[in-house]
Amino acid sequence: MIKVGIVGGTGYTGVELLRMLSGHPHAELVAVTSRKEAGLALADMYPNLRGRVKLRFTDTLMADLSACDVVFYATPHGVAMKDAPKLMQAGVRLIDLAADFRFQDIGVFEQWYKITHSCPELVKEAAYGLVELNREAIRKARIVGNPGCYPTTMQLGFYPLLKAGLVDTAQLIADCKSGVSGAGRKAEVGYLFTETADNLKAYSVSGHRHAPETLARLQMMTTEKVGLLFTPHLVPMIRGMHSTLYARLTKKVSDEQLQALFEQSYQNEPFIDVMPFGSHPETRSTRASNILRLALHRPPDTNTVVILVVQDNLVKGAAGQAIQCMNLMFGLPETAGLSHLPVMP
């Protein structure tokens, strides 16, 4: 059994890790930390864990994480990098759900996150955790930087088109919407029920932290210069993400050829569902699962392809994807602990 630790187990991605790892056939939870909730039974904070998880939160400063095989960091940016050198010396693998190890360019990370990176030497060996596009690097990695939720949808949506050289890479557009859980478990006025219900708003239009992450990864898919216009929105639902992507075709290609391109690109991917051309994937069809669904559209008399992408922002967009990485790192079936169906209605 893989001995697993979680640092920052009180947030929404933390409890998703707990929910899925508690039923994982090859994982054993041995430590879950919290600075504020030390001593509290996990099931007292999250009743859905009753009868499945008997651990109590351990003080972050007192936890012996060296006894773990892998540690997940479901923490704010800047936490994982402080512990990474010590964990590497102890032979413990690390999967960070924040941004500490997503960027190979340290300067870009420090510019957007306003903190100095404390272990740039380890960034060089970290693998970017988007399994479908970086599988072999993840398999061999000691450190994985889990992708952001929005970047996951944008990269998987644009990838087949960029790889095939079919679109104008300088004019990619992403109109993305996320449920409120994407903001994390915190008490702020902007995320109160009375503020978010019956309301929809764009945010960070002039620049979102996920834009440079996405641009850097998209640029690896093509030799052409990539330009991305990305606008995120907050929608009045708890969980779920819907990204509508637009790209201008530069070559003559039929709808059937576009569909075949995406089906062939993802034909062996257990967590990507390429729906029939013209379908309308819904966020609820992925709720609480590690599935990402996408569908293609071609507005009449245009040279534009529209890609609709949906996922659960807490699972495929965060915790589920991290477990997918863990499975690869330890030579397990990639689907282990992740085969549960979406929850409907």
Is residue 210 predicted with pLDDT exceeding 80?
Answer: yes
Q: Other CB atoms closer than 10 Å to residue 24's CB: what's the count?
A: 20
DSSP 283-311: GGGGTTSS-EEEEEE--TT-SEEEEEEEE
What per-residue confidence (pLDDT) applies to 36? 87
92 and 156, same structural domain? no
Is residue 110 predicted with pLDDT exceeding 80?
Answer: yes
Which domain, by its residues, includes 62? 2-125
pTM greater than 0.75 (yes/no):
yes
159 and 68, same structural domain? no
Q: Please, which pLDDT band fits residue 186 given cuts at 50, 70 and 90?
A: confident
The verdict on residue 139 lying in a domain is no
Question: Is the four-CA dihedral 104, 158, 327, 17 of positive or negative sign?
Answer: positive
The verdict on residue 182 lying in a domain is yes
The verdict on residue 319 lying in a domain is no
The verdict on residue 340 lying in a domain is no
What per-residue confidence (pLDDT) applies to 24? 97
- Average pLDDT of the residues in 193-207: 93
154 and 121, same structural domain? no
173 and 56, same structural domain? no
Q: What is the pLDDT of residues 128-175, one digit of tens each?
A: 999 999 999 999 999 999 999 999 999 999 999 999 999 999 999 999
The verdict on residue 308 lying in a domain is yes
Is residue 219 predicted with pLDDT exceeding 80?
Answer: yes
Q: Please, which pLDDT band fits residue 190 given cuts at 50, 70 and 90?
A: confident
Average pLDDT of the residues of the chain:
96
The verdict on residue 118 lying in a domain is yes
What per-residue confidence (pLDDT) applies to 63? 86
User: Which of 154-158, 187-191, 319-323 has the weakest average pLDDT?
Assistant: 187-191
CATH number of the domain that 6 lies in?
Answer: 3.40.50.720
How far apart (Å, rounded) are the C-alpha atoms in residues 329 and 332?
8
**Which residues are annotated as catalytic?**
149
How far apart (Å, rounded) are the C-alpha atoms in residues 28 and 112?
36
What per-residue confidence (pLDDT) applies to 35? 85
The verdict on residue 251 lying in a domain is yes
Q: What is the pLDDT of residues 31-52, one digit of tens each?
A: 999 988 999 999 999 999 999 9
C-alpha dihedral (340, 43, 56, 11), degrees to nearest 10:
70
154 and 72, same structural domain? no
How far apart (Å, rounded) are the C-alpha atoms in residues 309 and 156?
9
- Average pLDDT of the residues in 67-81: 96
What per-residue confidence (pLDDT) applies to 62? 84
> What's the domain count of the chain?
2
Nearest to 31 by CA among 1, 85, 76, 70: 70
CATH number of the domain that 308 lies in?
Answer: 3.30.360.10
- Average pLDDT of the residues in 182-199: 85
Reported for 262-268, long-range contacts at CB under 8 A and 24+ positions apart, including other chains, are 262/160, 262/294, 262/296, 265/159, 265/160, 265/163, 266/132, 266/156, 266/160
